Structure 1
Amino acid sequence: MALLEAIRANDGEALAAMVAGGVEGLNEAGDGGLTPLTLAVVTGNAGAVAALLALEELDPNVVTPKGFTALMLAVDVGDPALYGPLLADARVDPAVRGREGMTPLMAAAARNRDGAVVALLATDRAEPEAADDAGWTAVHAAAAQGAVEALGVLASEGIVAATATVCDSSGCTPLMYACIRGEPRTVSVLLDAAAEAVNLPGASGKTPLLEAVERGHVGLVPALLAAGADAAASNAKGITALHLAAANNLVEVVSLLATPATINVVDNSQRTAMFLAAGLGNAASVRVLAEVDGVDVLIPGPRETNAVHMAAEAGAAIDALIAVTPGALHIGNEDGMLPIHFAVRGTQTATLRWLLEQEGAEPAATDAEGWTILHMAAASGVMDVLEMLTTGDLAGVVPLNAVTIHGDTPLHKAARYGQADAARLLAGVPGVDFDALDCDGLTPRQAAAAAGHEEVAALCVPCQVPECAPPTPVMEAAFEERTVAHIAAVARNLDLISQTLPDLAEDLRLRADVHDASKWDEPERTPYVWLTAWYAAAARDEPLEYPAGVAAAVAAAITHHKACNRHHVEFHGAAGFAGMSDLDLAEMVADWAAIAQEQSGETTTSPREWFEASGRDKWDVSDADAARILSFIDALEVAISSSLSS
């Protein structure tokens, strides 16, 4: 159509000629779905708008195929030069509905065209309280889009107060949409004009406060509470704003919402806010909640599990909860699991250690099926816990051969669940019972084989270290002095590595506590006393000749030691270095460095030279494994360099 082309090209002369000669199709949409008037608006052609409005045959209220009138498009653009002439034309109806029942006022409000809102309201024909097909009013539109200025105009004219409690088809008020959007100024305008909407829930049962907290709009909470928001209100699932804040670790909001009236409220699943915060590892929120008067950390949730259990499993501020209720140490869930069991299940070694150090702790306690924490660690392969309880400073606090109601020892559990590393470690602990029979009459080795774990079955046999001649007291003293010094050097190197890799710091400290602990007891101690003496003699160039049987015992003890300590690659069997965790590699590098430092007499010596010259070839280390090893050597060297320069 030539008229549309003239408007699109902003050709005033051509347009004037066409208008003077009469125009066909003046109110019809072209190929683009726009009438001449709506095209003039969207192209910002104010001259064309004026020229077209001068035509008597023009219908300015035509709704385009896409559902818009010229006035809707003009206020959407927000240019007074476009919507001003339209509103001045008596034929223009500012209440004509477009797509989905939208009015021009709704369009102007949604786009925050406050000038257009003022102009529309001045006509007294804009139907300011009208709702579209979805129940949205102009106030809904402004609130949902964060249109602060437009909303302010509507508030000043009393329209916000008149429609603030109107719910759309989804059951939401304008305030609800403002809280979803998270614009504080919009919320402030709505609350100032109509605070009575502050506790109106939507169709889902959520109040504005619940909506704001769920979406993390922390800044809205003080204003909502000041306007009278009910902090105890809950949604259809019984979840309160405090539940949501605690679950999302919104500590500032938790501080505002946690009161004696809300602290122990349970949702439909019997979970308190403390239960959720603890279970999700939100330690900061747990500590805030623990300070509230009347907090009950023992309220049972699903399966009689309480907040203390959840905190133990997640490693979340367990000390704060036990401080509130010390007796919680001894309370189990419906399966009889105590906090110590949950700590093992969550692989929270540091939390477990803390629990075991508390007065009245019961390290040998069992669940309803007779599982100790040692059974759990063995079945799940939680190696840090196994080491702590078998070769570390807490060795012996849990009976090594305790049996469940099914007759399983911890070694049975490692065997039955195919935990090779756990079985290897347990098999090297003095006193482990390889011949214990479960209720089916199976030994650990037989249980592993029955479960198809042949590799593990091969580990469930005694490590034979032959007896040998006793060393002299001088040799014993030298062994103890050297071993203490070596372990101290390893601990120092692990501390240096942790300075470069702080995320591993706590776990590395725990590794330092148990490093080489197996050397202190038989079957390793006596052979290693001899081995230490042999190395000392070699250093003096005075070779030591072992008495009969000692060489074989030393070789067997070395094999035993490597099979029981994860910082040795041999511990990991066929997996080799690829089977070693970052903690294993860090401890290995710290061990190598301690040996290199002992030989050089310098505490700053790195194991890099030895690894590059001999270590690679000794174990035929792949490039990928070498890169991982070298990354920890790098970390150690960076920390050493930093310590020298400070």
Structure 2
Amino acid sequence: MALHRPPLVLALALLAVPGLAEEQGDPTEALRIEEAQTAVRQRNYAEAAETLAELAAAGNAEANYMLATLYRDGRGVPQDEATAFDLTLAAAEAGHVEAQYSLGTLYLSGRGTDEDAAEGRRWIAAASAAGHARAKEALSELEARAAEPVSDAEISPREEAPGIADLAPSQIATELGWTLLIEAARRGEGQTVQALLEQGAAPDETDKQGRTALMHAAEAGHLGTARSLIDAGADPDLKDADGKTALALATEAGHFEIVEYLVMQGARSDLADNAGARPLLRAIEDGQARIAMLLAGEDLPVEDINLQSELLMAAARSSGPELLRLLSDHGLPFDLLDRDGRGALWHAAASGNAAATAFLIENGVGLDRADEAGEAPLHAALRFGQAETADMLLAGGADGSLATATGNTPLMIAAQQGNLDAVRRLLEAGVDIDLRNAKRNSALMLAAQANRVEVVRLLLEAGADKRLRNQDRHRAHDLAVAAGHAEIAELLE
């Protein structure tokens, strides 16, 4: 099978030219990866794909691997197994361990490339050598199987039904215990699934992970296949080894139509997995607002205060006003707190969810409600570098002088983080420029130690006292010298 790069990657190849990203003022690669991860959680797949394509063209291994998953699932880009293989290969060759394991399974199953057992084993062995737990298990099973004689019955497909001849078990399928029914369901081969069921295949047969054909179809997004299995008597409430049902897997994969169908067929949405999470919580955490609203309409456990809090905080981090409003309509008050004493506004601001932050401010949530460490939403937004939500809180009237339990004010945090706009806004609001924290450090000292040159300039222009000393008797100048920040040391002489 010919390998190829996606057109989007090729079109953006110029971004790999050294220095181009810096000239355009792009953030660091790590920050852009984080932005792409946020976009994926919020189901902004096209946005994530564009960011990842730029980074992949520049050779970023994590971006190649993440983009491969989007092409494999057809999220934000056309579904393309060959392109997914190419990107996984690029990430694996760059040393990405998870990609190496994934590449090994692709070679063994023949997804996106020609089946090649030797290459599959080689890449799984590489991942195993790097400490990948699943790769170690897979390699052990491959080696054990290689030592066993293989009978014709194990490798001969059933040929009575159309399409079954194409489902000869691959090495990885045999290793994972995928039956012909499961393999057909994974691929969405509806006619083959129907033929196998008519021949007597058990609809609830499982693989080595305890997953049924229905679970595989639900996770892969094959609605027609899921219908056939349900019609044949498949149980939608069975759990796999992780405690996940077909509904949970469809929810995590973002397949709304399958979730809707399973709910209509009576699938229970209140079943928690081994980690204690129900499908509704997973949907909210992943920013799957449409699915979450569907599930919330079916099952909202208002009797469990801790679960109520989890749902509300997850919605504040990842979802928009519609879901927050729905949760409120179901009886969840916006003033709920999590185990650390943090409210919904704290989570919205800290995660940079501007839509949720604006909605909660408009609905009168306490702007200055602090957690057990005395950290209010404004402190959190500034500490996590969320400039937009920090600005919204300040504009909404958050107290710019409020100190945490360790005495850090918003000005100190903004100065240390190098948030020049926030520092300027706080100074304009009249906060005390020379307040000091529990260690007697001022905003100027923290900025000097963190090498925030422009912030130091602004604080000096605003009248910050450079003669102040902290509990160790160090001035801002001393801290800059000790940290090797010559330019700031010169400014503070």
* TM-score above 0.5: yes
Asked which structure has the greater RCO (Cα within 8 Å, sep 6+), the reply is 2
Name 1:421's counterpart in structure 2: 487
Name 1:401's counterpart in structure 2: 467
**Aligned equivalents of 1:296, 1:76: Cα separation in 2:** 64
**Cα 1:242–1:153 shift into 2, 3 Å:** same
Give the partner amino acid of 1:401: R
Percent identity at matched positions? 24
Residue 143 of structure 1: how far off its partner (Å): 1.1
**Cα 1:137–1:410 shift into 2, 3 Å:** closer
Give the partner amino acid of 1:274: L
**Aligned equivalents of 2:312, 2:303: Cα separation in 1:** 8
Is 2:474 the partner of 1:387?
Answer: no
**Aligned equivalents of 1:348, 1:143: Cα separation in 2:** 45
Name 1:484's counterpart in structure 2: none
Report if the CA contact (8 A) 1:206-1:234 is conserved.
Answer: no
**Aligned equivalents of 1:76, 1:368: Cα separation in 2:** 75
Residue 270 of structure 1: how far off its partner (Å): 5.0
Is 2:271 the partner of 1:200?
Answer: yes
Residue 138 of structure 1: how far off its partner (Å): 2.8
Report if the CA contact (8 A) 2:415-2:446 is conserved.
Answer: yes
2:163 alignment partner, one of 77, 88, 91: 77
Give the partner amino acid of 1:342: I
Give the partner amino acid of 2:456: L
Name 2:48's counterpart in structure 1: none
**Aligned equivalents of 2:225, 2:306: Cα separation in 1:** 31
Give the partner amino acid of 2:279: P
Report if the CA contact (8 A) 2:162-2:191 is conserved.
Answer: no
Alignment map for 1:139-158 (pairs within 5 Å): 139-157=214-232
Residue 149 of structure 1: how far off its partner (Å): 0.5
Report if the CA contact (8 A) 2:320-2:356 is conserved.
Answer: yes
- Show CA shifts across 1:571-629 (max 9, x none): xxxxxxxxxxxxxxxxxxxxxxxxxxxxxxxxxxxxxxxxxxxxxxxxxxxxxxxxxxx
- Consecutive unaligned residues of structure 2, counting only runs of 5 or more, are 1-149, 168-172
Alignment map for 1:366-385 (pairs within 5 Å): 366-385=436-455
Report if the CA contact (8 A) 1:67-1:99 is conserved.
Answer: no
Report if the CA contact (8 A) 2:289-2:323 is conserved.
Answer: no
**Aligned equivalents of 1:418, 1:66: Cα separation in 2:** 72
**Cα 1:104–1:295 shift into 2, 3 Å:** farther
**Aligned equivalents of 1:98, 1:388: Cα separation in 2:** 66
- Show CA shifts across 1:324-361 (max 9, x none): 664x33321121011111111111111111122225x2
Determine helix, strand or coil for the equivalent of 1:198: coil
1:127 alignment partner, one of 202, 205, 210: 202
Give the partner amino acid of 1:317: T
Report if the CA contact (8 A) 2:367-2:376 is conserved.
Answer: no
Is 2:194 the partner of 1:118?
Answer: yes
- Consecutive unaligned residues of structure 1, counting only runs of 5 or more, are 1-62, 84-96, 428-646
Alignment map for 1:236-255 (pairs within 5 Å): 240-247=310-317, 249-251=318-320, 255=324
**Aligned equivalents of 1:120, 1:423: Cα separation in 2:** 77
**Cα 1:215–1:280 shift into 2, 3 Å:** closer
Name 2:389's counterpart in structure 1: 317
- Show CA shifts across 1:265-314 (max 9, x none): 5555555443344334444443233334445642315x432322122332
Report if the CA contact (8 A) 2:219-2:250 is conserved.
Answer: yes
Residue 168 of structure 1: how far off its partner (Å): 1.4
**Aligned equivalents of 2:392, 2:367: Cα separation in 1:** 12
**Aligned equivalents of 2:414, 2:237: Cα separation in 1:** 49
* Structure with bigger gyration radius: 1
**Cα 1:68–1:112 shift into 2, 3 Å:** farther
**Aligned equivalents of 1:98, 1:426: Cα separation in 2:** 69
2:182 alignment partner, one of 106, 117, 120: 106
Name 2:478's counterpart in structure 1: 412
**Aligned equivalents of 2:161, 2:240: Cα separation in 1:** 23
Determine helix, strand or coil for the equivalent of 2:269: helix
**Cα 1:229–1:151 shift into 2, 3 Å:** farther
**Aligned equivalents of 2:377, 2:303: Cα separation in 1:** 20
Q: TM-score, normalised by structure 2?
A: 0.58
Determine helix, strand or coil for the equivalent of 2:411: helix
Give the partner amino acid of 1:129: D
Name 1:137's counterpart in structure 2: 212
- Figure out how many residues of one structure are paired with residues of the other and give that number: 335
Name 1:331's counterpart in structure 2: 402
Alignment map for 1:283-322 (pairs within 5 Å): 283-295=354-366, 297-300=368-371, 303-313=373-383, 314=385, 315-322=387-394
2:297 alignment partner, one of 226, 230, 233: 226
**Aligned equivalents of 2:190, 2:204: Cα separation in 1:** 17
Name 1:476's counterpart in structure 2: none
Give the partner amino acid of 1:376: L
**Aligned equivalents of 2:362, 2:151: Cα separation in 1:** 62
Q: TM-score, normalised by structure 1?
A: 0.45
Q: CA RMSD in A?
A: 3.7
**Aligned equivalents of 2:312, 2:217: Cα separation in 1:** 29
Determine helix, strand or coil for the equivalent of 1:330: coil
Give the partner amino acid of 2:192: A
Report if the CA contact (8 A) 1:231-1:241 is conserved.
Answer: no
Determine helix, strand or coil for the equivalent of 1:134: coil
Name 1:58's counterpart in structure 2: none
